[in-house]
A and B are shown apart, each in its own frame.
Chain A
């Protein structure tokens, strides 16, 4: 056998070739880039991150001033990305779960409506849906001068949705603490009730005590401290309402668009998950006399969840990545800050590299988190 037919030798040669190819390509591109940067006397390096950004952001969860650094602007953009992703994940899960179950409803009309929802929304590009929602908000709603009053202190206009927000009081920290104490108590009660049911067959009420244990201490502490609650109500100033909580049209459009689009995919995942649970389980549970709602909650969903979680993670990731379309509707997310920074500094390579690194980290973190969760909920005795 000639030596080149030896699989080990061949494997080695392949690997060295690929590695050399990747390095050569990398070196070529980097060399070209450096040449080009030098020829055009464009500055390079990450020094700009510490310089003053000088531009204002439309909204930010963390304190941000134009006199802050580029790094801070990036952070503010990242926090905005997280904000809309998180809100989107919550809303799309709720919508998706309902629509997914509705698609399997025995009720013909409900099933049809749900499948109409899914087929329409997932087949239209997300960008188009975002433009649609944004255009709808800024064209159809009245200007802030004639804002619609939806309730005490709640105003809806082209400037967004404004609502009263409770002002912070030192007592609220204690209320929060009491709330945090309540959660383990509720978890502990749940365990105890389950053990007791296993031991004696006696079924203890679950819902009310759980809610009571979680909220009770917080409410009691709140009342003891004299119920200190004042709301900051939006007030109309020269141009628009100021104060209180605010959801800007950009955020609203992005949030609704992302959630509704992704919910269509989540609904499909939920449906597939439920279908994956053996029909016999349904019948068996029915034979035991469980009501349909209980069958769904106690038998089907817990098993379906394991099938549902991995593809849902993907959908959450997609939602987080699609939030980069914020740049199209003017929401100051990470992509938008990157765009502004690279225009002000001219350092495209560095700015885009930072953006990609952040998204990559975010993606890897979400999938890692979901993998851990997946391991926790897996049926232990499955071989």
Chain B
């Protein structure tokens, strides 16, 4: 009898747990407002993009996007919870509703758009796939890699691009494929492979963190693919999609207009109508999106513009030492082009 009761109790507990974790049927946006936090899927640990310190505080440029969303929608950059996801897990987690938004250096491709049931929000980092080799091998370019063993991570576009590149150049290679990012990095830096490949930004990131001496490794000049990385949301809630899209554009345009965390309070009284639309409440931009009037102000005040986030997490002064390059504003010769908020 006790056993039966215990079983019943356990069953009830399981149902309660699953129900408490479930989003209400209906738009994601309402559910987020109701639970009062955003569940954001991030990398399990990629320095500069999404990584947790030993206290569990997340930092990174992908993390900042989710913080921006929380500031815009819920008024507080801290009303966000992070789910670390491996590359193979990420889409399932978003599809199933485990997370509300995926901000985890994910490439936009046609196949993913067509077959995953997800929306790509916008480009958060223009990247490209490159190679990294130990300096002592004295390799000057990717064309010299014929016959090399190359460590790659499973379940990424990287694996396919790599194969395409070698096929196109009539070269051979031997892949060593790892399920987890940890194992992949450990194997490469232990010397299992003569080269590794992934997005250049990630190469710089792991080199800064995992190499005993970062100068022992060289990133080759060739970039073999276009990797527009950015956040994704699930289909079925266009309002939520619009919010994510415009928070992204807000952070881009704020940089173009020179609005920073420092000066956002003074800028609020600016007479420039574009600035007014971004951080004031001219033309009720917030209302149109279903957000508070001061959504733009809160994002910039609490998180900062795109450039600030870039410099803070991956820029020249960080261990990653990444150039703005393609990710500079379009006015500076880059590709970052915030769509007009009007």
Contacts and interface: CB of A to CB of B under 8 A. Distances in A.
Direct interface between A and B, CB < 8 A: yes
Interface of A: 36, 39-43, 54-59, 66-67, 135, 138-139, 143-145, 158-159, 237-240, 242, 249-250, 327-330, 332, 336, 339-340, 342-346, 348
Contact of B174 (A58, A342, A343): A58
A138 B154 contact: no
Contacts, number: 113
Contacts of A54: 160, 163-164
Interface stretch (B100-108, B185-193, B245-253, B268-276): B185-193
B330 interface: no
Given A55-B163, A330-B187, A346 B192 contact: no
Contacts of B175: 55-58
6 contacts: A39-B117, A40-B116, A40-B234, A42-B116, A159-B149, A344-B155
B194 A239 contact: yes
Contacts of A237: 147
B95 A41 contact: no
Interface of B: 87-88, 91-92, 95-96, 114-118, 137, 144, 146-149, 154-156, 159-160, 162-164, 166-167, 173-180, 183, 186-187, 190-192, 194, 234-236
Contacts of A39: 117, 235-236
A39 B116 CA distance: 10
Interface core residue of B144, B160, B180, B236 (most chain A CB under 10 Å): B160
- Classify the secondary structure of B's interface with A: mixed
A239 B159 contact: no
A240 B194 contact: yes
Contact of B192 (A59, A249, A336): A249
B206 to A, nearest CB: 17
B18 to A, nearest CB: 13
Looking at A42, A57, A239, the one whose CB has the most chain B CB atoms below 10 A away is: A239
A340 B164 contact: no
Nearest to A159: B149
Contacts of B186: 135
B192 A40 contact: no
Contacts of A67: 167
Nearest to A329: B183
Closest 8 CB pairs of A and B: A40-B117, A343-B155, A239-B194, A138-B192, A66-B163, A41-B117, A138-B190, A239-B148
Nearest to B92: A348
Contacts of A57: 175
Given A42-B116, A239-B148, A343-B154, A327 B179 contact: yes
